[in-house]
Structure 1
Amino acid sequence: MSDAEAAAGTRVLLETFAAAGLPRPGPGRGVFLNAVASPALDAEWRRALVCEQTHKGRHDALARLSCDVRVQAGGAFDAGLVLLTKHKAAALAAVARAAAMVAPGGVLACAGARDAGALSVQKRVGATIALEGQRFAAHQRAFWLRRPEALPPVLADWQAEGALRRVAPDGHVAAPGVFAWDRVDEGSQLLADHLPDELAGRVADFGCGWGYLAAEVLRRRHAVASLDLIDAEWSALEAAKANVADPRARFLWRDLATEGGAGPYDWIVTNPPFHAGVGAEPDLGRAVLVAAARALKPGGGLVLVANRQMAYERTLDAHFAARQVLAETPRYKVLLATEVR
């Protein structure tokens, strides 16, 4: 979800407690999955909640507010809050995990964008556990329930369907919510097929996802001395660790847009992200390209794949003196940028 969608969803979710007369949990007695920093997260809420956030930038933003933030929450709580993502399996898994952590009779409240599948999730949850109420505000849908004494068995299935697992037919490990989790992305495959012959030395994969491209670089280019797999999403890195066993690989949890890359690198490969919410957000990809330019050694090179309609050329030209097209299809283009300015 985009930052704007996340902020709106958080506000509606927290306001639902007052609007519906629901009791706020006491200090440390609430758990908030997919939590994000928001003005609505006041001091009382910050004391009340154990926050779970797997995106590095959002995790750090919560830490700056002195929230108790973790990549994986656990324990027993009086109330659960879930900010729903657009990935239905991941959203249902979060609901199931939160329900398992809430004591019987405790409140479980959820909210998500109307145009990102919140109604579909609400219907699935409501068909499983009776809902106590719902409300709509700021293009967000919120609903809540009381945790029953015994949880329906299907919630265990939801958790399993949202967890890291092996995916057929190639057998890679991934989870819903990770980019192209259930397939090999066509663009990444095109890039792997057109890696420069001279790619060698210290290399990084910016936005590595579940590790397909990094694994191909290591398999095809034996002169690569080391490869840093970098992603802002902790779940993606956990998948990549299961998929890339090469000793040259290192795994870094970093938000490239705010922290930049580790560097300096001889080469960087990337299939830059351009979706956070429902629509395309090309600034996400541009931020990764700028981070790549800053992380390269003098004389280093950047190889990327992008959808044909993504106009990254101006960003590349602002940071590199040379650019060429290595491959094109009706959907994708592979670009090589060198001579960092």
Structure 2
Amino acid sequence: MGLEIGAGTGAGVPAVRLRKRNGKTELLAAGFLDLPGRLPTSAGACDVPVWTLPGPFRAPRAAMAINSPLHFLRHAAGGNGEEATDQATTFRRVSRQTAPDMPRLVAGLPEFQAAWAARLLPEGHRPTACSIQVAAAAAMSGFTASPAFVQAGGNAVALFVYAQVTSLAAFQDGGLVFYREHPMGMEHLRGAISSQMGIEASLTDAVLEDTLIDPTSVVEPVLRPLYRQIEISADYLLRRRKCQVENFFVSGVTAGAPYWSKLFARMMNQSLVFCSPLDGIERVGPGAHLPDDVAKRAPLLMTALGAARAVLEDQ
């Protein structure tokens, strides 16, 4: 199963349970669990709650993705992944080669956060924590296992939208060759609509979905700097790597998709394809433990699904 810790959705901890059988990935359970405790932000005394998961989510193993403003994910400048980040904080690091001619991709989490997460699930009870991942890396794992990525031939630029940040990843021949994070997420879009249109924050998603109100003049200034980064990424792939990208994807957008699409088409003269993290995953039928609106809320499960798929694909 997969869990996203620190998601900040306000709806609970995103959780999914997957099974791989006969070459197919199946969704057995999904939801947002009411579990105690919040991801600590400092290395002081951190009380660790004990998480007891509902029956449908008690898989043998759990992959935990941590969504933390203190993490890092980048290609190593020196190629060994051991460059200093914050001398005052000890980081748990892992690195891997994402493309033959690229420095290794290095992911790091503060040791105190990784240790806190590892103790959430009690020993001797299902599930047992088997993997701790950086949220953005988990999301990318889910995307690269999707039919959309396969059909694109492994050449694509993808956005993974979170509450406070958007991860931008460029792939060539299936390997990650460019990664950066842009300080704009869904909450920035909601905040702009709320402040500039005088609307309560709780109503901003309704505005983004309502065809009677046009927030284009508010939405576009928020999205434009992000799309400029995509232009730079596509230009890098073309000039430096001789790779013409014609496939652009986004995952994690919870509202206002038409506004994202229209500006993208105007700036890039390309289509922006919205990917559901459930693509390529089969539902097992009436026995599955799923919310009625699982398809609509799938963007919020992006990281939990990616964490679980990363473990399944490594088996």
- TM-score, length-normalised on structure 1? 0.28
Higher RCO structure (Cα 8 Å, ≥6 apart) = 2
Structure richer in strand, relative to its length: 1
Rg (Cα) greater in structure: 1
